[in-house]
Amino acid sequence: MSVMPLDWRLQGACTLGDLSLFFGPEDEPDADRQVREAKAEAICQECPVRRECLSYAVTTAQKSGYWGGVGEVERARIRRNYLQDLRGCAA
């Protein structure tokens, strides 16, 4: 797995706003998380580097936060599929 350059982060729509929308507290109630992630998603929808952000989060196994328009649970599923695909390529 190669390491991707991180210059894309400077172009992220999230750099202009409240980063706490993308990383909630550990004991955050589900209702609060849903509201916070909806706000993060609205920012991600307009982001020019959304794909790069999600790719980075998946390939570097970011466990927390809202990356590339995807929350923690969905990103874990995407990562599992990514790793299965890698194993399939190696066979």
Which two structure tokens, joined as six digits, stand for 45?
Answer: 């929808």
In a domain, 3, yes or no: no
In a domain, 2, yes or no: no
pLDDT given for residue 88 in this prediction: 79
Query: Is 70 strand, coil or helix?
Result: strand
From first CA to last CA, the distance across the chain in angstroms is 16
Candidates 37, 44, 47; CA nearest to 73 is 37
In a domain, 1, yes or no: no
Q: Which domain holds residue 47?
A: 8-90
In a domain, 12, yes or no: yes
In a domain, 48, yes or no: yes
Dihedrals phi, psi of 12, to nearest 5 degrees: -65, 140
pLDDT given for residue 91 in this prediction: 59
In a domain, 70, yes or no: yes
In a domain, 46, yes or no: yes
In a domain, 76, yes or no: yes
Q: Which residues contact 52 (CB under 8 A, 6 or more apart)?
A: 4, 8, 68
pLDDT given for residue 1 in this prediction: 45
Full pLDDT tens readout for the chain, 91 residues: 455 567 889 999 999 888 899 999 989 999 999 999 999 999 999 999 999 999 999 999 999 999 999 999 999 999 999 898 878 776 5
Entry pTM: 0.82
The count of structural domains within the chain is 1
